Amino acid sequence: MKLSYEWLNEFVDLSGIGVQEFADRLSLGAFEVEEVRSFGPDIEGPVVTGEIMEIMPHPNADKIRLTRTRVAEGEEPQEIVCGATNIEVGQRIPVALPGARVINRHDGTPLAIKQSKIRGVVSNGMLCSAPELGVTGSSEGILVLGADIGLGLDIKELLHLKKDWILHVSPRSNRGDALCVLGLAREASALFKRPLKQQALAGELEQALRNFAAEQSDVEKTHVAVSIENNTDCPFFSARVIHNVQIGPSPALIARRLEALGLRPVNNVVDITNYVLQELGQPLHAYDLALLKGAVLNVRRARGGESLMTIDGKERSLPEEALVIADAGGVVGVAGVMGGKYSEISDSTTTLALEAASFNSARVRRSSRLLGLSSDSSLRFERGVDIASVQVASNRAAYLIAKHCGGKIGEMSTAGDDKVPDRPVQMRLAELARLAEINIVADDVGVMMEPLGFTVCIHADDYNAGIVNVLVPSFRQGDVSREIDVIEEICRLYGYDRIKPSMPERTMAAPPRDRFHANIRNSLSASGLSEAWLSSLTGRDDLDARGSCKVADESLVVSVLNPLSPDHQVLRQRLVPGLLKAAVYNQDRGRDDVSLFEIGRAYFRERETKAPVGVPDEKHVPAREEIRVAGIMTEEPVMSIWKQVASNDSTTNFFHLKGVVENLLERLSISLDEVVFEQCSTDDWYHPGRTCALYARVSAPSVQNEKPSGDGNGDHRPSVDNKVFVGIMGEIHPQVCRSYKLKGRPVAFELNVELLRSLSRAAGLRETSATPSVIRDLTIDLATAVAHSSVHSCIADAADDTLRRIDLVSVFDLSEGHKSLSYRLTLQHPKETLTAEKVDGTLVEIRKALSEKLNASFRI
Amino acid sequence: MTADQLDSRLKSIRDEVLAAIAAGQSTDDLESVRVRFTGQKSELKSIMGELRALVPDEKRRIGQLANEVQQAVENALKARREDLHRVELTKRLQEEQIDVSLPGTGRRLGHIHPLTRILEEIIEIFHGMGFTVVDGPEMETEYYNFDALNTPTDHPARDEQDTFYTNAAAGVLLRSQTSTMQIRAMEKTHPPLRIIAPGRVYRNEEVNARKYPLFHQVEGLLIDRNVTFGQLRGTLEEFYRLLFGRELKTRFRPDFFPFTEPSAEADCQCPFCLGEGCRTCGHRGWLEMLGCGMVDPNVLKSVNIDPTVWSGFAFGMGVERIAMLKYGVNDIRYFYNNDLRFLEQF
Ligand SMILES: [Zn+2]
């Protein structure tokens, strides 16, 4: 909220304390001051009220005239040149005399007034317009004052043009009491140990109310009948009638103070309700009584089909959860949020009903959210308004209206109960010392807390036991109800900065950190992929690749119920779409070689929503999060291409990325013997001929227990015995690339991190053999359709245990659907030196198996 | 030949060979010299054959001379070979010169995301102070996100955080704070405990330079006997010192969080201007770093920890915010655009 320092000083005398010092102390002791801004024009020197006595044409100019203006009764008028067209003889206007400083209305800079010659005529000052004095109003013409205003009065006093400071104070959700001048004055009083002047004001107010009441005997004793449907929604409601009101502009003080806070003055009555809201924190609303049907105000929930045009001119249909104020004819306001247009105060209003009430904060918040409408009033009610101050504020406003709008105060009718007993809270000094190491005596608590409105009583028995009894005033009962709440108040008043820093007493060693994700990052970044962080909230169109793919099971999609933007409305089920978009983002910026990876989560609803036995519903989330690692590569990430052999082979990317994945597995201590890459053509995000699924051979019990979770990557996962689906890698489907406007032939992978973790084995040392190894090359001709993996496993199965390695050396395509594969076989016996005969025997077995099982032929 | 003839012949052979060696211009030349003068069919070898015919004294004298000649030739050959090798190598090295300024052809290295980097730094510091890293779900129930954190249904703080609710089940939401992990950690482990919980959180907000509908927090929690507000301050002071690499003042300002009391914003003296005021700190001299406080007794009670025996502190910081401060990034969207021109600076 915005706070006027000048206004604050009316409640607590802060003289001698600079505004910045005050702001710093308030920030450190109570509420953050986000900004301090000066307010008010830089007007200096003699600017006074004057009267135009005579207007004559200027002898040397058409557009300007010569006036004779006096600034004191009976004084000889001065000649002052004026260019404005709205001046008339007899007007009372502001006159800046030589030596004064006002504002240049063209550019806002200071304008010094001196006696000067204008087109040959001496001008002894200047008649001022509104902008020249820094007040809002018509910029055309001279500011015309009331005809009954005395002459020679200081305009700064008259228009309340005092220099002020406006502080932007950050509100807190649990401190509605501090959203007003009075509330912050209490804080200032406590922080600076200066007394609060509120009591004096209250006394003056009561006296005035008694006076007004005494005068009203001749006035009709009309009153508004008020009623409350539900006391939880509205514990207390009041309406006071004020007669014979004259609607007009506000007095300068009120208008200026509202302007200082950035509020536009409307008319005297509305301004006074706003003024009291700023001052005491109690929202008020004034109705034109003549426009209320049946002179009744009823607080109730809205009924089906009701609507209201609010003061801002918008017609709003009212949800049934909204709390409203209604007269005999229907809704006239949304309780605590905004009044209705029809019954608002207008220039012709003469009698008004002034509403002051206490509405349930959650209810006001609900109405405000449902209507998408918030106001200064709802802002206060949402944070809690002091029920005990409702009538105080109503009286204050009535007093001001009677004083400034010529009104006569009438009857107040009320419904509900506004009596709140003080609530006692016990605070143990030992507890204060235990938690905050603050050691003070009971009397200090009183000195600290009483300026805030708390009453501190120390009973003789309790004194020795170190127990302090604190009575919490009504306006703090929302946030202070427990011992710890009192301790917090003492801590901040004592000063957080006086609490000495220390380290926790116990030394505790944390277990070594899990490096699994770090290992993934290290491996992939060493392979040239940069790490991306992607949004897990995406648009629906990322579930189906913008229409290119099917969503396997819509019921597994987690969506948000209240999305702000279509781009953030579902939780992703794959990481790859985000990577595709990141690649496009980079391609659009002229970067073609994009290699990115991410470690992130995919999200799935569970089909079974019931909580498992032993888990309470309130702790059960029927949804699953899967940690994944995914990567994308549009080109090989080489540092420089000048040494590269140009290749037109479109499969380079695939095999490069496969190598990246294999390196990753190795870095994670996953033996390549534990995994299988199998041709996969069923995932519609990927090229059906250039994609493989990665499976783990099931041997470890930890893997066996994992249910293959096929939901995420569509319906492509074949259920294979003794294998667990770990993830997928392949070339992105050209159709998907087209949908995302992605250039080139990008390849991608996406793997389940927790499954990878379960496959990871601690490295164990295998003894290195001292016997020599034998290398034999084997070239095989076979049908193109036979996969390398079949050949590989056929060789491995046929050989005895002396076969150590099988390395593919070359692949040639032959004519007529045949190809030739060359392998280099490494054979070694752990203890003996292999003889040529033994090796030959093994190779015979291998050839035999290959020709029988795969119909292979050989070249010698 | 007589002994004297042999003697002079040997000497002349020696001179002849040494001259030939000196004249040799390549290892090939030397090899032909060697074959010609010391090979099986060479004169030297035939002289050796003639020694047999001499009387013993003469035989010894000429034999010795022959050996000397042989030795001298071999030494000269070796020395000349070394010389020639050196010359040839020098020549080759000169010929083999390349343009070393041509770029390397290795694989480009990928870069680690700045948020990972800052998160690593933060976690490492607290790990060193005995905090264990824990992880938990992003889809949560209202119980963990609010109720157990002393934020009942009507609490205004529940609206302020503009929470995303999901279709998973009634009351299932995307956590708006990593404070959920306080409850999960305390359910799992009895005090004393120290945990640090990094993670992704969600708020239903429009995207702009300062806000994104998801961001990351690091939550810290310490529960023990005799834990005080001063220890919270000391721990955070240590954190700032290690994060920015210098001693910095801290400043606590009152704030409100439903699950801590007393609560504070823990500011850190601006490490860039040391409190003088600069652009990073908005000319305040202080950086708003994180929210913290003493764990509210109601929170301890919700997980059956006796607040009269145990006390604790908790803190939560925004990872993006700290990364923005530390790396001078002025728009949160840079972290999620994944522009390589940005990522490759880290
Ligand atoms: Zn700074």
Put simply, the answer to whether A642 touches B238 (Cβ < 8 Å) is no
Same domain? B118 vs B192: yes
CA of B266 from ligand 1 middle (Å) equals 16
pLDDT band at A705 (very low <50, low <70, confident <90, very high): very low
Is B135 part of any domain? yes
C-alpha B143: how far from its chain's center? 41
Mutate to test the interface with A, among B144, B164, B311, B313 (most CBs of A within 10 A): B164
pLDDT band at A637 (very low <50, low <70, confident <90, very high): confident
Q: Is the Cβ–Cβ distance between B115 and A533 less than 8 Å?
A: yes
Mean pLDDT of A290-304: 93
CB under 8 Å to A212, separation ≥6 — which residues? A398, A399, A402, A408, A409
B105 has pLDDT over 90: no
- Say what the pLDDT of residue A200 is: 58
Q: How far apart are CA B69 and CA B66, in angstroms?
A: 5
Is B259 part of any domain? yes
Is B108 part of any domain? no
Q: How far apart are CA A343 and CA A103, in angstroms?
A: 40
CA of B250 from ligand 1 middle (Å) equals 14
Preceding amide of B137 cis, omega within 30: no
Is B53 part of any domain? yes
Ion ligand 1 residues within 5 Å by Cβ: B 270, 272-273, 278, 281
Count: domains in chain B: 2
Mutate to test the interface with A, among B102, B180, B229, B237 (most CBs of A within 10 A): B229
Same domain? B166 vs B221: yes
- Say what the pLDDT of residue A622 is: 95
CA nearest to B313, candidates B224, B201, B239: B224
Say if strands A803-813 and B139-141 run parallel, antiparallel, or are unpaired. unpaired
Instruction: Bin B249: left if φ > 0, else alpha if -120 < ψ < 50, else beta.
Output: beta
B189 CB near a chain A CB, below 8 Å?
A: no
What does the mean pLDDT of chain A come to?
90
CA nearest to A582, candidates A634, A626, A657: A634
Preceding amide of B262 cis, omega within 30: yes
Q: How far is A557 from chain B (nearest CA, A)?
A: 9
Mutate to test the interface with B, among A27, A28, A435 (most CBs of B within 10 A): A435
**Residue A106, token pair as written in the block:** 């063209």
- Say what the pLDDT of residue B156 is: 67
CA of B275 from ligand 1 middle (Å) equals 6
Q: How far apart are CA A168 and CA A180, in angstroms?
A: 12
Shortest CB distance from B107 goes to which of A437, A535, A638?
A638
Shortest CB distance from A530 goes to which of B107, B111, B172?
B111
pLDDT band at A722 (very low <50, low <70, confident <90, very high): confident
pLDDT band at A680 (very low <50, low <70, confident <90, very high): very high
Instruction: Bin A802: left if φ > 0, else alpha if -120 < ψ < 50, else beta.
Output: alpha
Same domain? B159 vs B273: yes
- Say what the pLDDT of residue B205 is: 86
Q: Is the Cβ–Cβ distance between A443 and A289 less than 8 Å?
A: no
- Say what the pLDDT of residue A217 is: 58
Is B11 part of any domain? yes
Put simply, the answer to whether B224 touches A582 (Cβ < 8 Å) is no
Question: CA distances (Å), A766 to each of A59, A763, A830, in order?
Answer: 115, 9, 11
- Say what the pLDDT of residue A198 is: 65
Question: CA distances (Å), A308 to each of A300, A334, A368, A377, B135, in order?
Answer: 14, 8, 14, 18, 50
Beta partners for residue A286, in sequence order = A354
Contacts of A639 in chain B (CB under 8 A): 103-108
Q: What is the ipTM of this complex?
A: 0.86
Put simply, the answer to whether A639 touches B234 (Cβ < 8 Å) is no
- Say what the pLDDT of residue A721 is: 59
- Say what the pLDDT of residue A718 is: 42
User: Coil, helix or strand for B220?
Assistant: strand
Q: Is the Cβ–Cβ distance between A829 and A771 less than 8 Å?
A: yes
Same domain? B284 vs B155: yes
Same domain? B35 vs B66: yes
DSSP classification of residue A796: H
A701 has pLDDT over 50: no
Same domain? B169 vs B56: no
Beta partners for residue B250, in sequence order = B268
Same domain? B161 vs B275: yes
CA of A25 from ligand 1 middle (Å) equals 20
- Say what the pLDDT of residue B39 is: 80
Same domain? B215 vs B325: yes
Mean pLDDT of A739-754: 96
List the single residue in B with minimal CA-CA distance to A623: B168
Mean pLDDT of A253-271: 92
The CATH number of the domain holding residue B313 is: 3.30.930.10
Burial category of A760 from C-beta neighbours within 10 Å (exposed 0-12, middle 13-18, buried 19 and up): middle
Is B25 part of any domain? yes
Is B103 part of any domain? no
- Say what the pLDDT of residue B32 is: 87
Listed residues B95, B122, B151: the one ending a domain = B95
CA nearest to B144, candidates B331, B299, B308, B292: B299
Task: For chain A, positions 535-564, list CB contacts with chain B under 8 A.
Answer: 535-537, 557-564
Put simply, the answer to whether A532 touches B343 (Cβ < 8 Å) is yes
At A814-839, the pLDDT tens digits run 888 899 999 999 999 888 888 999 99
A201 has pLDDT over 70: no
Shortest CB distance from A525 goes to which of B110, B169, B252?
B110
Same domain? B55 vs B143: no
Mean pLDDT of A506-527: 94
- Say what the pLDDT of residue A138 is: 65
* DSSP character string of A437-469: -----HHHHHHHHGGGT-EEE--HHHHHHTEEE
**Residue A649, token pair as written in the block:** 């082979």
Put simply, the answer to whether A565 touches B206 (Cβ < 8 Å) is yes
Q: How far is A28 from chain B (nearest CA, A)?
A: 5
DSSP classification of residue A293: G
Q: How far apart are CA B182 and CA B175, in angstroms?
A: 13
Same domain? B68 vs B139: no
CA nearest to A298, candidates A225, A222, A394: A225
A29 CB near a chain B CB, below 8 Å?
A: yes
First to last CA, chain B: 89
Same domain? B83 vs B174: no
User: Coil, helix or strand for A174?
Assistant: coil
Q: How far is B228 from chain A (nearest CA, A)?
A: 5
Contacts of A505 in chain B (CB under 8 A): 224, 226, 231
pLDDT band at A709 (very low <50, low <70, confident <90, very high): very low
User: Residue B321 belongs to what H/E stretch?
Assistant: helix B319-327
pLDDT band at A209 (very low <50, low <70, confident <90, very high): confident
**Residue A700, token pair as written in the block:** 């470890």
A11 has pLDDT over 80: yes
Domain of residue B247 covers 114-343
- Say what the pLDDT of residue A719 is: 43
Task: For chain B, positions 20-79, list CB contacts with chain A under 8 A.
Answer: none
pLDDT band at B161 (very low <50, low <70, confident <90, very high): low
pLDDT band at B316 (very low <50, low <70, confident <90, very high): very high
Is B104 part of any domain? no
Q: What is the CA radius of gyration of chain A?
A: 42
Same domain? B234 vs B127: yes
At B248-297, the pLDDT tens digits run 999 999 999 999 999 999 999 999 999 999 988 888 899 999 999 999 99
